[in-house]
């Protein structure tokens, strides 16, 4: 017996390791109600322990490499490569001014929206608190779109928190360790996010394909879905707040497994292949955060009067447009245009006939003709006197005396 173990020790070690790993895999997979197998999203204690060990071994050198790279980049950018800094600063200041102006103008709408939501008993969740984190490493596998960030449970991170950038959503926190966390990107094959197409309002589930492109799956073929349409988060997955940008439709392909369905390939808004700094949404509330309120107050104080002045100008223009008589109503058919309404005394008609026409008068060639001129010319002249033919709506016209416009003789 002892000889057997010695003789076959290599194969026995191999088999033991294989069996142990197969058993370990079996406890990580579960069968869904639909009969498909899926990975258990919650890791067992043993699996979590292995992940913790791997993170403890790999993350410190990764952090060291990342911080060295960041330090050298900062040294270069902040102390050496300072060309155009002043110009950039000025442009950024202009952008801030413009955004403050826009923010102040939108503030009233936002407040009104909140009031209406409160009336309808609907509470939209706003991003209330975020934690900025650096992406320090990846999974190292082309089959897995998972990356590691340098913040963990010490900063309040928890599993299933949304991870975003200023451009759009990135993924969700999968595993949290004390100093780091693993983020499952939206282009991973095992990810899932509820999304909605902005124009067509078609909803679907976003997940990654084999080559790392996010795609919306399980959608019935629909001709309205066109490349370029924006994709937003739907908010139904309880991870991503509603309305965050996801990307734009890149192309639509047939589902290889089901004829009636299509897959919508999405070009992500966030640069998923070159992630550096990300934001983890640690809290969402039905109100603005203190920082947001501070920003709003600053905008209101600094740019409020300007925004209000612009708003007043817009309102005044709208009122004037309502009061001024319209020559052409786009909602009416051509034969019912107010221009053809002879009962309207404010109509701008043909310019009055000159008392002594000469050859320089418009149409003077006909009028200057002998009294025995041809009847056709006179008839044409009569036709041209109808309001529809007489006025060019695009041409600037001076206000006319109603009596004059009706062809009454001048005193």
Specify the stretch interacting with another protein by CB under 8 A; choose among 97-105, 209-217, 224-232, 277-285.
209-217
Site for another protein (CB under 8 A): which residue of 114, 190, 292, 366? Answer: 190
Residue 346, H or E segment: none
- Residue-wise over 14-46: b if at least 16 C-beta within 10 A, else e? eeeeeeeeeeeeeeeeeeeeeeeeeeeeebeee
Site for another protein (CB under 8 A): which residue of 162, 164, 170, 275? Answer: 275
Distance CA 135, CA 114 (A): 35
Least distance between another protein and beta carbon 146 (Å): 4
- CB of 215 closer than 8 Å to CB of 208: yes
Least distance between another protein and beta carbon 246 (Å): 18
DSSP assignment, residue 325?
P
Q: Which of 286, 289, 281, 28 is nearest to 158 (CA)?
A: 281
- CB of 214 closer than 8 Å to CB of 266: yes
- Residue-wise over 211-249: b if at least 16 C-beta within 10 A, else e? ebbbbbeebeeeeebeeebebbbbbebebbbeebbbbbb
Site for another protein (CB under 8 A): which residue of 124, 160, 167, 273? Answer: 273
DSSP assignment, residue 340?
G
Site for another protein (CB under 8 A): which residue of 2, 3, 33, 36? Answer: 36
Least distance between another protein and beta carbon 33 (Å): 15
Residues contacting residue 345 through CB under 8 Å, at least 6 positions apart: 402
Site for another protein (CB under 8 A): which residue of 146, 161, 252, 280? Answer: 146
Q: Does 145 bind another protein (CB under 8 A)?
A: yes
> Judging by DSSP bridges, how do beta strands 169-176 and 162-164 pair with one another?
antiparallel
Residue 357, H or E segment: none
Locate 41 and state its tokens. Answer: 């999203």
Residue with tokens 């963990």: 152
Q: Does 398 bind another protein (CB under 8 A)?
A: no
Distance CA 265, CA 299 (A): 39
Least distance between another protein and beta carbon 151 (Å): 17
Site for another protein (CB under 8 A): which residue of 66, 100, 172, 303? Answer: 66
Q: Does 140 bind another protein (CB under 8 A)?
A: yes
Q: Does 37 bind another protein (CB under 8 A)?
A: yes
Site for another protein (CB under 8 A): which residue of 97, 142, 167, 311? Answer: 142
What character string, x for contact with another protein (CB under 8 A) and - otherwise, covers 164-183? ----------xx------x-
Q: What is the CA radius of gyration of the chain?
A: 36
Q: Which C-beta is closer to another protein: that of 57 or that of 120?
A: 57
Least distance between another protein and beta carbon 162 (Å): 16
337: left (phi over 0), alpha (psi -120 to 50) or beta: beta
Q: Which C-beta is closer to another protein: that of 145 or that of 303?
A: 145
Q: Which C-beta is closer to another protein: that of 49 or that of 286?
A: 49
Q: Which C-beta is closer to another protein: that of 38 or that of 72?
A: 38
Site for another protein (CB under 8 A): which residue of 114, 144, 200, 400? Answer: 144
Site for another protein (CB under 8 A): which residue of 184, 206, 239, 262? Answer: 184
Q: Which of 293, 274, 409, 294 is nearest to 354 (CA)?
A: 409
Q: Which C-beta is closer to another protein: that of 21 or that of 344?
A: 21
Distance CA 107, CA 113 (A): 10
Distance CA 160, CA 240 (A): 9
Least distance between another protein and beta carbon 300 (Å): 41
Give residues 223-252 in contact with another protein (rule: CB under 8 A).
Answer: none
Site for another protein (CB under 8 A): which residue of 137, 247, 268, 349? Answer: 137
Residues contacting residue 175 through CB under 8 Å, at least 6 positions apart: 43, 48, 51, 159, 181, 182
Beta bridge partners of 40: none
Specify the stretch interacting with another protein by CB under 8 A; choose among 131-139, 323-331, 362-370, 381-389.
131-139
Q: Does 70 bind another protein (CB under 8 A)?
A: no
List residues binding another protein (CB under 8 A): 9-10, 13-14, 17-18, 21-22, 24-25, 28-29, 36-39, 47, 50-51, 53-55, 57-58, 61-62, 65-66, 135-148, 174-175, 182, 184, 188-190, 209-212, 272-275
């Amino acid at each position: 017996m002892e000889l057997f173990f010695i003789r076959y020790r290599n194969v026995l070690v191999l088999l033991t390791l294989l069996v142990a790993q197969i058993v370990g895999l079996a406890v990580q997979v579960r069968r869904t109600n639909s009969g498909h197998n899926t990975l258990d999203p919650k890791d067992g204690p043993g699996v979590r322990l292995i992940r913790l060990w791997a993170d403890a071994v790999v993350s410190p050198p990764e952090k060291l490499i990342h911080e060295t790279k960041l330090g050298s980049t900062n040294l270069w950018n902040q102390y050496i490569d300072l060309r155009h800094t002043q110009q950039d600063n000025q442009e950024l200041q202009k952008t801030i001014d413009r955004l403050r102006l826009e923010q102040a103008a939108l503030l009233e709408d936002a407040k009104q929206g909140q009031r209406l939501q409160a009336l309808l008993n609907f509470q939209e969740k706003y991003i209330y608190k975020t934690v900025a984190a650096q992406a320090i490493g990846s999974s190292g596998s082309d089959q897995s779109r998972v990356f590691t960030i340098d913040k963990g449970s010490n900063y309040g991170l928890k599993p299933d928190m949304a991870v975003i950038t200023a451009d759009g959503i990135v993924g969700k926190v999968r595993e949290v360790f004390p100093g780091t966390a693993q983020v499952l990107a939206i282009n991973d094959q095992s990810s899932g996010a509820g999304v909605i197409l902005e124009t067509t309002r078609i909803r679907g589930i976003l997940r990654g394909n084999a080559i790392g492109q996010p795609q919306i799956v399980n959608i019935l073929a629909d001709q309205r879905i066109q490349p370029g349409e924006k994709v937003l988060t739907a908010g139904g997955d309880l991870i991503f707040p509603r309305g965050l940008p996801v990307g734009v439709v890149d192309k639509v392909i047939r589902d290889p497994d089901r004829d009636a369905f299509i897959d919508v390939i999405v070009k992500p808004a966030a640069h998923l292949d070159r992630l550096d700094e990300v934001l983890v949404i640690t809290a969402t509330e039905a109100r603005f955060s203190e920082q947001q309120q501070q920003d709003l107050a600053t905008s209101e104080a600094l740019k409020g009067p300007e925004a209000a002045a612009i708003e007043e100008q817009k309102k005044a223009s709208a009122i004037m447009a309502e009061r001024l008589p319209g020559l052409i109503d786009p909602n009416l058919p051509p034969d019912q245009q107010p221009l053809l309404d002879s009962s309207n005394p404010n109509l701008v008609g043909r310019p009055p006939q000159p008392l002594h026409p000469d050859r320089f008068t418009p149409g003077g060639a006909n009028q200057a003709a002998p009294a025995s001129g041809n009847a056709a010319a006179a008839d044409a002249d009569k036709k041209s006197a109808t309001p529809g033919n007489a006025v060019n709506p695009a041409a600037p016209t001076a206000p006319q005396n109603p009596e004059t416009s009706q062809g009454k003789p001048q005193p």
